[in-house]
Structure 1
Amino acid sequence: MNDARSTQGAAPRFGVNLDHGWVSFLESGNGEPVLFLHGLNGNASSWQGQLSELSADMKMIAWDAPGYGKSDAAGNTVEALARVAIAFARRVWRGPINVVGHSMGGLVVMKMAVLEPQLVKRLVLSCTHPGHGLGPSGGANERYRRRLEELRDLPPAVYGERRAKGMLPEGTDEHIFRKVAQIAAESRSEGVANAAWAIQTEDLQPELPRIQAPTLVITCDQDKVAPLAKAQPLLDRIPDVRHVELTGLGHAPYIEDARRFNTVIAGFLLEE
Structure 2
Amino acid sequence: MNDAAVIQTPALPPSELERLDARFPARSVAVRGGAVSVRECGNGPAIVCLHGIGSGAASWLDTALLLEADARVIAWDAPGYGESTPVDAAVPTAADFADRLHGLVDALGLASFVLVGHSLGALTAACAARPGSSLAARIRQLVLISPAGGYGAPSRAEASQRVRTQRLATLDQIGIAGMAAQSAARLLSEGAGTQARQWVRWNMARLNESGYRQAVELLCGGDLLAELPPAMPVRVAVGERDVVTTPESCREVADGCGVALELIADAGHASYVERPQAVAALLRDVLAT
Same fold (TM over 0.5): yes
2:102 maps to a residue whose letter is I
In the alignment, what sits opposite 2:6? none
What is the aligned counterpart of 2:246 among 214, 218, 227? 227
Q: Does the alignment pair 1:78 with 2:91?
A: no
In 2 relative to 1, CA 143–137 (structure 1 residues): closer, same or farther, beyond 3 Å? Answer: closer
In 2 relative to 1, CA 32–200 (structure 1 residues): closer, same or farther, beyond 3 Å? Answer: same
1:90 maps to a residue whose letter is D
In the alignment, what sits opposite 1:141? 161
In the alignment, what sits opposite 1:99? 115
2:168 maps to a residue whose letter is L
What is the aligned counterpart of 2:193 among 170, 173, 176? 173
Q: CA contact under 8 A between 1:113 and 1:119: conserved in structure 2?
A: no
Segment of structure 1 superposing worse, 163-172 or 33-42: 163-172
CA RMSD of aligned residues (A): 2.2
CA–CA distance in 2 between the matches of 1:238 and 1:28? 30
What is the aligned counterpart of 1:111 among 115, 122, 127? 127
Q: Does the alignment pair 1:124 with 2:140?
A: no
Segment of structure 1 superposing worse, 67-76 or 227-236: 227-236
In 2 relative to 1, CA 137–245 (structure 1 residues): closer, same or farther, beyond 3 Å? Answer: closer
SS class of match (1:154)? helix
What is the aligned counterpart of 1:253 among 271, 276, 283? 271
- How many Å apart are 1:141 and its aligned residue? 3.1
Q: Which runs of 5+ in 1 are unaligned?
A: 1-6
Q: Which runs of 5+ in 2 are unaligned?
A: 1-19
In 2 relative to 1, CA 177–257 (structure 1 residues): closer, same or farther, beyond 3 Å? Answer: same
CA–CA distance in 1 between the matches of 2:250 and 2:215? 19
Q: Does the alignment pair 1:53 with 2:66?
A: yes
In the alignment, what sits opposite 1:271? 288
Q: CA contact under 8 A between 1:18 and 1:87: conserved in structure 2?
A: yes
Structure with the bigger percentage of helix: 2
**Alignment deviations for residues 27-46 of structure 1 (CA, whole Å, 9 cap, x no partner):** 11100111000000111101
In 2 relative to 1, CA 193–48 (structure 1 residues): closer, same or farther, beyond 3 Å? Answer: same
SS class of match (1:216)? strand
In 2 relative to 1, CA 66–139 (structure 1 residues): closer, same or farther, beyond 3 Å? Answer: farther
CA–CA distance in 2 between the matches of 1:237 and 1:155? 36
SS class of match (1:87)? helix
In the alignment, what sits opposite 1:238? 257
Q: CA contact under 8 A between 1:107 and 1:130: conserved in structure 2?
A: yes
What is the aligned counterpart of 1:183 among 182, 200, 203? 203
User: Normalized against structure 2, the TM-score is what?
Assistant: 0.84
- How many Å apart are 1:248 and its aligned residue? 1.9
In 2 relative to 1, CA 156–189 (structure 1 residues): closer, same or farther, beyond 3 Å? Answer: closer
SS class of match (2:288)? coil
**Alignment deviations for residues 152-200 of structure 1 (CA, whole Å, 9 cap, x no partner):** 4436443212221221223432222121111111111121111111111
In 2 relative to 1, CA 81–138 (structure 1 residues): closer, same or farther, beyond 3 Å? Answer: farther
**Alignment deviations for residues 40-90 of structure 1 (CA, whole Å, 9 cap, x no partner):** 011110100122221111001110000000001114111111111112112
**Alignment deviations for residues 69-127 of structure 1 (CA, whole Å, 9 cap, x no partner):** 00011141111111111121122133121111100101110000012320211111000
SS class of match (2:152)? coil
- How many Å apart are 1:201 and its aligned residue? 1.3
2:288 maps to a residue whose letter is E
SS class of match (2:241)? coil
User: Normalized against structure 1, the TM-score is what?
Assistant: 0.89
Q: CA contact under 8 A between 2:141 and 2:234: conserved in structure 1?
A: yes
